Amino acid sequence: MWRSRHFLLVVGTLVLLAMACQAVVPPEESSAPASTSQPSVLFQDDFSDVNSGWDRYEDTDALNDYYNDGYRILVNKPSWWFWSNPGLNFSDVIIDVDATKIGGPDENDMGIICRYKDDANFYFFTISSDGYYGVSKFVNGEEFLIGMESLGFNDTIVKIGGTTNHMQARCVGSSLTLTVNGQVLADVNDSEFTSGDVGLIVGAYDATGVDILFDNFVVAKP
Question: Where do the structural domains in the chain lie, given as residue ranges?
Answer: 39-146+162-221
pLDDT value, residue 21 = 42
* Position 162 confidence tier, pLDDT thresholds 50, 70, 90: confident
The 10s digit of each residue's pLDDT in 117-161 is: 999 999 999 999 999 999 999 999 999 999 999 999 999 999 877
CA–CA distance, 14 with 132 (Å, rounded to integer)? 16
83-107 average pLDDT score: 97
CA–CA distance, 104 with 117 (Å, rounded to integer)? 30
Instruction: Please determine, for residue 102, whether its predicted confidence score (pLDDT) is greater than 90.
Output: yes
Higher pLDDT, residue 21 or 63: 63
CB neighbours of 91 closer than 8 A, spacing ≥ 6?
29, 115, 194, 195
pLDDT value, residue 37 = 58
Look at residues 140, 96, 89 and name the one whose alpha carbon lies nearest to residue 115.
89
Q: Round to the nearest angstrom and report the end-to-end CA distance of the chain.
A: 31
Instruction: Write the class of the CATH domain 39-146+162-221.
Output: mainly beta
52-74 average pLDDT score: 96
